[in-house]
Amino acid sequence: MEESTEYIIASSGHRLFNWKELWQFRELFYFFTWRDVKIKYKQTVLGFLWAVLQPLLMMTIFTLFFGRALNIPSQSIPYPVYVFSGLIIWNIFSTGLTSASNSMVNNATIIKKIYFPRLIIPVSSILVALFDFLMAFFLFGIILIFYKQPVSWMALFLWPLALLISVVATLGLGCWLAALNVKYRDFRYVIPFLVQVLFFITPVIYPISLLKYPLLQYILACSPMYAAVELFRLPITGVPPNFVFLSVSLLSGFLLLLIGILYFKRTEDFFADFA
């Protein structure tokens, strides 16, 4: 490295975001993601196919129970399409959040021995979830063709936007939980439960309009993934989501991002002492 600049190691005075440093370590994002993707499907016969099979199997189960047996309305599109479109974007959040939350603890041996911006670790776990999304997205295309489901041109910007929102939501909560998990291992047990609860209050398997009480609808809109799921589905269903709910959800997502990153940065110096 050419710039032999002076730098100082001291007890505090970390800038909130050292962009320059993150940029210097940019390759580590790639390597952590690459490693996790490789490890995830090592010694499996089906390999990457699992990224596709998991949502497909879930879709089948939900279609049988909720679509057929309970006859849940699906905003005028076939129920399997409804569920799958919700599931693939939801899975970014659920797998991303779970692995990000455990990422610091799982990589404790590395954290204790080598310095690099700690943020790389949870971010990379989320990138792994995005990789799974891409795999599942191909299957999504096939399903759309199979059900001859028309898609509005709005998908061109709404889908990337939904993706961005889900990454923001995952990153915020993921970083927060990752940092908390380092100090209080209790969170390891809270996370699966939290993901389960959020799954039921996010309109993945049923539309929010199914709920009769407006207050309940507001509470559900607090889920940061509400906006992502609704916007992702909009080009297929053509049903515009409630603007107020959308704002509530977006706000909750950005608030979580702020809290999560701030808490993470505030505690990251001491991860090596606690991990």
Partner 1 sequence: MKPILEIQGVGKKYRIHHQHGGYVSLRERMANVLKFEKNQTEDFWALKDVSFEVQPGESIGIIGRNGAGKSTLLKILSKITPPTTGRIVSRGRIASLLEVGTGFHPELTGRENIFFNGSLLGMKRKEIETKFDEIVDFSGVEKFLDTPLKHYSSGMQLRLAFAVAAFLEPEILIIDEVLAVGDAEFQKKCMKKMGDVTVQGSTLIFVSHNLPSLKSICHTGILLREGKLVLSGSIDEVINEYTSYHIEEGTIASVIHYFQPHIQLENILINGSDKNTITVEGNILSISFEITFLKRIAFELDVHLKKEELPVASYANFVQNKVTTFEAGKYLLNYAIDLPPLRSGKYKLDLYFTEPFVSWFAVTENIIDVEIVNTMHHAFLTSSSLKWGSTLLDGEVKIGRIS
DSSP classification of residue 68: I
* Closer residue to partner 1 in complex, CB, 54/267: 267
176-203 as b/e: b if 16+ CB within 10 A: bbbbbbbeeeebeeebeebbeebbebbb
CB 137 within 8 A of CB 89: no
Please classify residue 161 by burial: count the beta carbons closer than 10 Å to its beta carbon, then call 0-12 exposed, 13-18 middle and 19+ buried.
middle
**Shortest distance (Å) from residue 76 CB to partner 1:** 46
Nearest C-alpha neighbor of 175 from the set 89, 249, 104:
104
Using CB under 8 A, pick the residue from 7, 23, 193, 243 that binds partner 1. 7
By CB under 8 A, tell whether 27 contacts partner 1.
yes
| Span near partner 1 by CB under 8 A; candidates 3-11, 131-139, 217-225, 254-262 | 3-11
Q: Between the CA of residue 253 and those of 60, 126, 169, what are the distances in Å?
A: 30, 15, 5
User: If binding is defined by CB under 8 A, does position 200 make contact with partner 1?
Assistant: no
d(C-alpha 224, C-alpha 202), whole Å = 9
For partner 1, the closer of residues 68 and 266 by Cβ is 266
- In this complex, which beta carbon is closest to partner 1, that of residue 161 or of residue 259? 259
Instruction: List the interface residues with partner 1, window 76-115 (CB under 8 A).
Output: 109-115
Which residues, other chains included, contact 240 with Cβ-Cβ below 8 Å and sequence gap of 6+? 234
CB-based contact 236:151 (threshold 8 Å): yes
Using the rule CB under 8 A, give the single segment among 27-35, 69-77, 84-92, 129-137 that binds partner 1. Answer: 27-35
Out of 48, 72, 183, 259, the only residue in the binding site for partner 1 (CB under 8 A) is 183
Q: Rule CB under 8 A: say whether 45 interacts with partner 1.
A: no
If the CB atoms of residues 114 and 215 are measured against partner 1, the closer one turns out to be 114
Distance CA 99, CA 250 (A): 23
Contact yes or no for 59/87 (Cβ under 8 A): yes
Query: What string marks each residue from 243 to 272 as x (binds partner 1 by CB under 8 A) or -?
Result: --------------------------xx-x
Q: Which of 164, 185, 258, 266 binds partner 1 (CB under 8 A)?
A: 185
Contacts with partner 1, 119-138, as mask; x by CB under 8 A = --------------------
> How many residues bind partner 1, per CB under 8 A?
38
CB 118, CB 261: distance < 8 Å: no
Binding site for partner 1 (CB under 8 A): 1, 4-12, 27-28, 30-31, 34-35, 38-39, 42-43, 109-116, 183-187, 269-270, 272-274
